Structures are given as structure tokens and as C-alpha cells.
Amino acid sequence: MGKRNKKGTSKQFRWTKPMEHVFLEILAEEAQKGNKPSNTFRAVSINLVVEAISKRFQVQCDAKYVENHLRTVKNQRQIICKIRGESSCGWDDNMKMITCDRATYDAAVMAHKKYEPFLNKSIDHYDEMALVVRKDMSTGSFASTLLT
């Protein structure tokens, strides 16, 4: 899943959609269990992801890859929240999609190329992403109502 250097070891780890699904599924469950006491996950949670990815996809996953991808997901979530905060965009909660008209889309993508993957496209695993990157985790019956 990564490019090989001269020693034959991977210097990059490529996350596929199925890998990201497993990643978010496990970390969302861990967050709901309370294994994210602050802004970071406990090592045991990270190791669960490492083991699951390595075993299921027959790749050499490492905790640093999981932590790096967690930063990527946090950055994506920040972009999504920023776009949702703009008055020119709407939100389809059923489709988990930021909606806008063509002129708004063109202007937004021209000004911010990083917005393009999130406009007028369903956001895969949005709810899990929200659970994983939340700074203040609630547990119990109110946890699912706090997703934004």
C-alpha cells in the first residue's frame, strides 16, 4: 500500500476508502466507549486500528500511520465545518452533503481548491468522522444527538 524505497520498506502508507471506513468505525466506537478522554485517543484504541488494518488488508500498518491519518481526518472535518458555516451553502442531513448552486460552487472552488471534494457530494462516514474528531466527547444516550 505504499511506495518502496531501496531497502524495500514502505515510506508512504496509502489509505483506501475501505481502510478509512474501518479506521473511522473503530475510532468512533472507541470514542463512544470513553476511550478518548481529551482530544486524543488512548494508545489501546490506536493499536486496535493498527491490528485491524494490518490483518484485514494484509498491509504493514503502524501507529504513526493511524495518528497521521487522524490528523488528516481532523483537517477534513475543519474544512467541512468551515464550509457549513458559510451562509451561501446549505446542508442535506439525509445525504450528509454540503449543497450549493453552480455559481457558488465555482466561486468557492476557485477561491479554495480544498473545498471541492466536499461540495455537492455525499460525505462518506460523516457521523463517524464527527465522533472521532470531537474535542469534548459525550457518552451515553446524548452522544448521538451531539453530532453536528
Is residue 139 situated within a structural domain?
no
Is residue 90 situated within a structural domain?
yes
Is residue 140 situated within a structural domain?
no
Confidence check: pLDDT of 96 > 80: yes
Is residue 8 situated within a structural domain?
no
| pLDDT recorded at residue 52 | 98
pLDDT tens-digit readout, 47-93: 999 999 999 999 999 999 999 999 999 999 999 999 999 889 999 99
pTM: 0.81
CA-CA distance, 41 to 35, in Å (whole number)?
Answer: 6
> Number of structural domains, the chain?
1
The more confident residue out of 100 and 134 is 100
Q: Report CA-CA distances (Å) from 20 to 15, 26, 50, 119, 146.
A: 6, 10, 12, 20, 22
| pLDDT recorded at residue 42 | 94
Is residue 141 situated within a structural domain?
no
Is residue 6 situated within a structural domain?
no
| pLDDT recorded at residue 137 | 44
Is residue 144 situated within a structural domain?
no
Q: What is the mean pLDDT of the chain?
A: 87
Is residue 122 situated within a structural domain?
yes
